[in-house]
Amino acid sequence: MTLIFLSPPFTNLESLILTTSFALLYVGSLYVSKHARLSFVAKVVPPPRDGAERRRHDSERWRDDPDVIRARLIAVTIVSLVSCTIVFGALWQSIGPESIEVTLEATLVRLGFSMPEFSLDALLPHLITPLLFLGPLYALYLDFSSPYPATGSFKDVLFSWQGTRNYVVAPITEEIVFRACVLAVYNLSGASKTKMIMLAPLSFGVAHVHHAWDIFNRYGRTPAAAKRALLTALFQLSYTTLFGSFVSYLFLRTGSIFPPITAHIFCNVMGLPQLGYEVSKFPKQKRFIYLAYMTGVLGFVMKLVPWTNTPYSLYWQPRGQEMTY
């Protein structure tokens, strides 16, 4: 059952307050517990060379310390549950307190937790991101096939607390909060699809800016460290916002949170494409690497719309039909 409102139950201001609270809760949870907070010494001795990461002091708590990761994973998991509960509460208030079962079902649908029946059409939205990464995937195949693969370090990270954070908990919780909860609320305020795809991901991008403080401290609090932190923050803001627009499109097109989650996990595993490095490492396969990259990009452009077409998506109505809330 999909509950449709005749008019937006939330105002623009209410949706802005709610979506901002989701972002503040998520980032703020990383600093509430003393076990999750980072700590750095006031003075670094000896000072690091410009451009080099300094040594970690025994008394410090860095982002990749296992106890910090564990505390933060618990925090963001709780925040994800709280954010979903807030959406439920907001819907309950709009629907009426006597309709708790209807509200619960409506919340699950709007957050994209409904499981579709397994079929090729249901699988295609999960394959659009690997198609885009056809070039990096081919280079990864070459690396695995080489006598000296460089994948050992990745395997070590994969089965570590860093891997649990990067490839499991962070993608799932970020998509639940910044995609499902944020977009559900924006939709209930009557926001257009364009606004939800282009503007809603800004909160996701801004939520990554706090990493600049970590970088500034790890690189010695020097002018060079400040420059690195600023440039990294701007770069992260750019690509996380761009990625946020893509997975927002996936969520709205499919009405499901699962394609955005698999896309997020896949992108975290693959990292940013490194065409120049891959060509220099495998010069004999240069043409095939270029061909794989071009094929992936062209395939992505051609298949993005048909592969993400999901009938009866709450958020993506056919042309000619009015927007539903």
- Whole-number Cα distances in Å, 57 to 60, 65, 164, 248: 5, 12, 25, 40
Is 208 part of the annotated catalytic residue set? yes
Specify whether the CB–CB gap between 208 and 38 falls below 8 A.
no
At 273 the three-state DSSP class reads coil
Q: Which of 64, 34, 59, 61 is nearest to 45 (CA)?
A: 59
Give phi and psi for 227, each to the nearest 5. Answer: -65, -45
Is 35 part of the annotated catalytic residue set? no
Catalytic residue from among 14, 35, 98, 208: 208
C-alpha triplet 239, 243, 245: angle, nearest 5°: 120
Catalytic residue from among 35, 60, 98, 174: 174
3-class SS string, 29-84: HHHHCCCCCCECCCCCCCCCCCCCCCCCCCCCECCCCHHHHHHHHHHHHHHHHHHH
Residue 105 token pair: 């079902």
Q: Active-site residue numbers?
A: 174, 208
